[in-house]
Every structure is written in structure tokens, then in C-alpha cells.
Amino acid sequence: MFRILSKRSVGGFPKASVLKTRQYSAPVRYTNKASKQNALATAKPWSELSTPQKGIYAYLSEMLLTFSSSVVVASKTTFNVGIILTGFALTSAIVYYIGSELFGSQSTTSIFSDAVDRVKANEEIVSILGEPIKAHGEPSRNSRRRNRRIASQVVEDQEHKPHLFMRFYLEGSITQGTVMLEMIKDEKDKWQYKQLYVDVPGQGLPSRRIYLERK
């Protein structure tokens, strides 16, 4: 292939100086599968490639491996971050639930603690049961049964108002007693006492019921 670079006049006649230029082949587009197979069949083996060709091939291969490694690392990182975020969300939910159950003012644990404080502050009950007074979940000498969660239940009345019922047991130095409480939610969605009383066995005499709250 030849290309005219410039023109000069010698003796009145134009004279063209020419230079031989290098040919560059455009990317080949295969029209069918057969032409592609023929092209692959005529491809040179590695041993017949020149040093620059081998260098280019090695460079491209290294770039491909680097890109593949980056994709794998990015995928692993994304997967690990997803696991960490999921674990954090679950842990936060568990901590919130436990905190609400143990420390929330409307939790059954807080209601139980408030009822026990009211019982211990009643002089009549203290004089009957004797000090110190202990509160537990089951009337048993077995420590595991006594340390069970306090029994409680929430039910709705005919007006669809929730009522909380709870029962636990007292043990004093003189005798024992049973505490029953009922609470109902007010217009602010907070539990309020409807009744709270302690039943004390009579030990041969009629049992006594002492009310601390009655509405």
C-alpha cells in the first residue's frame, strides 16, 4: 500500500515522493461458525509468537487475573458485610426485647417488682407473714421451680379491653401467702391496678384476704 506524502516540481514536471507505509488489519468479524473455526485453526502456536506478542499476551493475561481476583474479593467483602449487618440487626432486636422486658415500666417484670414493693410496705401483711418476706413463682422448696418466671396472662373482656392477671407466692418467717393482681389498660395504654390482694391461710382458722388495691 502506498500513500502520496508531498509533490515537488522537477524540470516543470511534478514529481511525487512516496513512502511505503505499514498496513494495520481491522478486527475480524466472523460471519459464521465455520469461518471462526478456520481462523482458530490457522492461529499460531505459542512457540511461533514473537517476543513482543508474548509480552502483550502475558500482560493481558495478568490484567484478566487481577480483575477476576478483584471481583472475587469484592464479592466476599459484600457477603461478609451483609452477614455482619444482619447479625447486628438481630442482636439489636434481641437486646431491645430483653431491655423492654426487664426494664420497661409496663413489662411483667416491672409490674411484679412493683407489686412486691407494695406488699412489703403493708404493715398488716408484714406482721402476719413475718420478716424477711420473699416472693417467688412457685410454692415449692425446689429452688428451680421457685425461680421460674412469674405466671401472668393477658385476656380481653367483652369490650375488647386487655386485662393482665398475675399470681405469685410469698414466704415469710411465720407463714406463707398468695398474691393475685389484676390490671387494666387506661386511655394512655398503660397498665393500672384494678385489684391487688394477698390470701393468707388461716392454719386452722379461716383464711384472710387483704386488699391493697380494689377498684
**Residue 87 pLDDT grade (very low, low, confident, very high; cuts 50, 70, 90):** confident
For residues 94 and 185, membership in a common domain is answered with no
pTM beyond 0.85: no
Give how many domains the chain has, as a whole number: 2
Domain presence at residue 83: yes
Whether residue 11 is predicted with pLDDT greater than 50 in this model: the reply is no
Beta bridge partners of 17: 6
pLDDT in tens, 129-176: 999 999 988 766 665 665 667 888 999 998 889 999 999 999 999 999
Q: What pLDDT, in 10s, does the model give residues 197-210?
A: 999 987 767 789 99
DSSP code for 42: T
Same domain, 83 and 123: no
63 and 97 share a domain? yes
* CB contact set of 5 (below 8 Å; sequence gap of 6+): 17, 18, 19
In this structure, the answer to whether residues 120 and 196 fall within a common structural domain is yes
Q: Note the Cα 135 to chain centre separation in Å.
A: 36
Amino acid letter for position 150: I
Residue 26 counted as domain residue: no
User: Could you tell me if 114 and 159 lie in one domain?
Assistant: yes
Cell of 161: 379491653
| Pair (114, 77) in one structural domain | no
Element (H, E) at 33: helix 33-41
Is there a single domain that holds both residue 202 and residue 113? yes
Low-confidence winner among 50-64, 103-117, 152-166, 172-186 (lowest mean pLDDT): 50-64
More confident residue, 25 or 204: 204
Q: Which domain covers residue 130, as residue numbers?
A: 108-140+148-214
Boundary residue ending a domain (81, 103, 125): 103
Give the pLDDT of residue 149: 72
- The model's confidence at residue 54, banded by pLDDT at 50, 70 and 90, is low
Residue 75 has pLDDT above 50, yes or no: yes
Say how far apart CA 95 and CA 24 lie, in whole Å.
Answer: 69
Examine the domain organization and report whether 205 and 119 are in the same domain: yes
**95/132 same-domain check:** no
Domain harbouring 170, CATH code: 3.10.450.320
